Each structure stands twice: as structure tokens, then as C-alpha cells.
């Protein structure tokens, strides 16, 4: 396809680290430029524990003409590897409003979880044991892959299992707040964007990246059972103020994203034009020779 279409610009996602490394290796000979949309797992494959994969990741960053990242920490990582970064966070999604479902607690919280290695889900279970019974925590995700027995959890925790999108949207619209946690320092969790979309307060990990971007409408928790318990209590105590803040944040981030999107679109168009002009000049030189 690349040989047939002869594009001036190719955009790809990392992961796949294989696809990204292939494209940056052949780009010069093929006459196109490469923009890599780099996720955390692309910049830090295997959680950064593999020296070989980290060297390959650094090679991709250096050879790419542009690397898209979501925050300043990842921006600095690309710069250290002599790459050219551009920060563009996810767009706040358009999640439809739905009538609230009947839930179990007086206060209901959705813990957005996938039981990934960076999610301290066991601490949320421990925190629930220290909360009043009128606070009920719903937990998404396939808990079976971690062999979790729901019968061993406190009564104020409900495991939803993996749920379809329609049910997830209903849960977002029904709960009072959400929790989304990560042990990755430079990670902006998807659940945080979704929570802002439905204008609900949330509890997030106390990281630089999350504090900077979701700087309103959130409580930032340490990763201890006591810290999560206290964060839930603080959120419920200040829920009205936090709800007002998240409405403000949603409007601010929507405006900022449109400005960044326009800047990126102009930059990509310029890269494509420059690559096409360079290829045309090279063909003319070859014809002369």
C-alpha cells in the first residue's frame, strides 16, 4: 500500500512497537514522514523493565518526525531521546446522558478498573471495609482473570464484571462519583476523561500528570487503604463544590483541545507538503542524472 499510494505522511500508533519501528526504518527510502501516536506502553514497553525494548522505543522516538504524547512527563521523555514531541490530550468524549439506575447505596461510587498491573484495586477493597455501609462501591472489569472471589469482599462492594458500553454509560450517569487509579506517573487515565464528560467528581491517583490536567473537580489520593478511605470521605463532604469545578474544567479543556487540534492539523499538513516537495525534487535530480 505504501509503495502504491506514495504518501507524504504516515501516522501510526505505538503500540504497535513493531509497526512503529518498521515505519521509521523505511521512511527515508520510501520518501514519507512519520508521526507516531505514542501511548505509555509505547514509550515504556513492558513497564520499562526490558532494556532491549526501551532501546527500541528510544530509536523510534529519535527517528520519528513527530511523536504525540498526552502530558509533560512524556514530552520530556521524548526530548531526552532526541525526538520531537507534541502534547495533545484525549478529547473529552461526548457521553450521552441517561436516566439514573437504581443503585444499592445512599452514596454510590464507580471504581473504573480493568485489573491491570498498574491499578491498586486491592487497596480499594480494603478501603471499602473501613467505610460506612451507606457508601457502596461498584467495580468494573473482568475480575475472573485475577481469580477474585466476590464472596470474600465486603458487602458494600459490587463487582460488575466486564459490562457493555450501554451499561457503562448508565453507571457513569447514575453514580455520585468515580475512582480511577494508576501507579504510572505519566499516565492520564481514560476514566478521568469520561468522568469529566458526565460532570461527576472523581478520585484520582496523586501524580503530577493527573494533577496538572484534571486540576479541578477531583480528590487526589495516596495509594494506601486509609488514604483512599479518607479521599472518599473528603469527596462526599465537598461533592457540590467539586461538581461545580468539574463543569468548569470540562468547558476549559474542550476549548484548549480545539486549539491544540488545529495546531496539530496545520503541523501535519506542513509535514506532508514538505515530504512531497522533497520527493519531487529528488525525482527531478534523478531524472537529470
- Cα(80)–Cα(87) distance, integer angstroms: 15
Q: Are residues 166 and 227 in the same domain?
A: yes
User: Domain check: are 69 and 9 in the same one?
Assistant: yes
Q: Tell me whether residue 7 is in a domain.
A: yes
pLDDT tens for the 289 residues of the chain, in order: 898 899 999 999 999 999 999 999 999 999 999 999 999 999 999 989 999 999 999 999 999 999 999 999 999 999 999 999 999 999 999 999 999 999 999 999 999 999 999 999 999 999 999 999 999 999 999 999 999 999 999 999 999 999 999 999 999 999 999 999 999 999 999 999 999 999 999 999 999 999 999 999 999 999 999 999 999 999 999 999 999 999 999 999 999 999 999 999 999 999 999 876 666 655 555 555 5
Question: How far is the first Cα of the chain from the last one, in angstroms, to the nearest whole number?
Answer: 28
> Residues 127, 27: one domain?
no
81 and 154 fall within a common domain: no
Q: In the chain, where does DSSP find H-type helix?
A: 2-5, 17-30, 40-43, 51-63, 72-80, 121-129, 165-174, 190-197, 208-213, 225-237, 239-288
Q: Of the candidates 59, 88, 117, which is a domain's last residue?
A: 88
In our burial notation (b when 16+ CB lie closer than 10 A, e otherwise), range 249-280 reads bbeebeeeeeeeeeebeeebeebbeebbeeee
Q: Is residue 285 part of a domain?
A: no
**Helix 225-237 with 121-129: angle, nearest 10 deg:** 70
Q: Is residue 190 part of a domain?
A: yes
Statement: the pTM of the whole predicted model exceeds 0.85: yes
CB 219 within 8 A of CB 162: no
Residue 69: φ, ψ to 5°: -135, 170
Residue 257 covered by a domain:
no
Q: Identify whether 286 is part of a domain.
A: no
* Confidence (pLDDT) at 275: 74
Write the CB contacts of 230 (distance below 8 Å, at least 6 apart in sequence): 221
Residues 84 and 204 reside in one and the same domain: no
Indicate whether 111 and 163 sit together in one domain: yes
pLDDT at 274: 83
Cis, peptide link before residue 16, omega less than 30° from 0: yes
DSSP structural state of residue 133: T
Q: Is there a single domain that holds both residue 77 and residue 130?
A: no
- How many domains does one find in the chain? 2
Nearest to 199 by CA among 237, 251, 164: 251
Asked if residue 135 belongs to a domain, the reply is: yes
Question: 69: burial class by Cβ within 10 Å (0-12, 13-18, 19+)?
Answer: buried
> Range of 13's domain?
2-88
d(CA 132, CA 284): 76
CA distance 188 to 224: 20
pLDDT of residue 92: 97
Give residue 288's pLDDT.
Answer: 53
Indicate if 226 and 130 belong to the same structural domain: yes
Q: Is residue 235 part of a domain?
A: yes
68 and 111 together in one domain: no
State whether 63 and 188 are in the same domain: no
Mark whether 116 and 217 lie in a shared domain. Answer: yes
Residues 177, 222 share a domain: yes
| The last residue of a domain, from among 55, 88, 121 | 88
In a domain, 195, yes or no: yes
Amino acid at each position: 500500500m505504501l509503495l502504491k499510494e506514495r504518501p507524504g505522511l504516515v501516522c501510526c500508533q505505538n503500540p504497535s512497537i513493531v509497526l512503529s519501528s518498521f515505519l521509521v526504518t523505511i521512511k527515508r527510502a520510501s520518501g514519507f514522514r512519520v508521526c507516531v501516536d505514542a501511548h505509555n506502553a509505547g514509550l515504556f514497553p513492558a513497564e520499562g523493565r526490558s532494556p532491549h525494548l526501551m532501546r527500541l522505543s528510544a530509536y523510534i522516538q529519535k527517528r520519528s518526525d513527530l511523536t504525540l504524547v498526552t502530558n509533560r512527563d512524556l514530552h520530556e521523555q521524548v526530548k531526552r531521546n532526541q525526538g520531537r514531541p507534541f502534547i495533545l490530550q484525549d478529547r473529552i468524549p461526548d457521553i450521552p446522558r441517561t436516566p439514573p439506575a437504581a443503585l444499592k447505596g445512599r452514596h454510590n461510587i464507580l471504581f473504573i478498573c480493568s485489573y491491570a498491573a498498574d491499578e491498586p484495586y486491592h487497596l480499594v477493597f480494603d478501603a471499602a471495609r473501613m467505610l460506612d455501609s451507606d457508601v457502596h462501591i461498584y467495580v468494573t472489569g473482568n475480575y475472573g482473570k485475577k481469580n477474585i472471589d466476590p464472596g470474600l469482599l465486603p458487602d458494600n462492594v459490587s463487582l460488575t464484571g466486564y459490562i457493555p458500553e450501554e451499561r457503562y454509560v448508565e453507571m457513569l450517569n447514575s453514580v455520585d462519583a468515580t475512582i480511577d487509579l494508576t501507579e504510572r506517573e505519566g499516565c492520564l487515565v481514560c476514566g478521568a476523561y469520561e468522568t469529566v464528560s458526565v460532570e461527576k467528581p472523581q478520585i484520582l491517583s496523586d501524580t503530577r500528570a493527573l494533577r496538572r490536567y484534571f486540576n479541578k473537580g477531583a480528590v487526589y489520593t495516596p495509594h494506601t487503604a486509609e488514604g483512599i478511605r479518607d479521599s472518599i470521605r473528603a469527596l462526599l463532604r465537598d461533592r457540590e463544590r467539586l461538581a461545580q469545578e468539574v463543569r468548569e474544567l470540562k468547558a476549559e479543556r474542550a476549548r484548549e483541545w480545539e486549539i491544540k487540534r488545529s495546531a496539530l492539523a496545520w503541523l501535519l499538513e506542513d509535514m506532508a507538503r514538505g515530504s512531497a516537495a522533497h520527493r519531487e525534487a529528488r525525482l527531478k535530480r534523478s531524472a537529470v542524472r
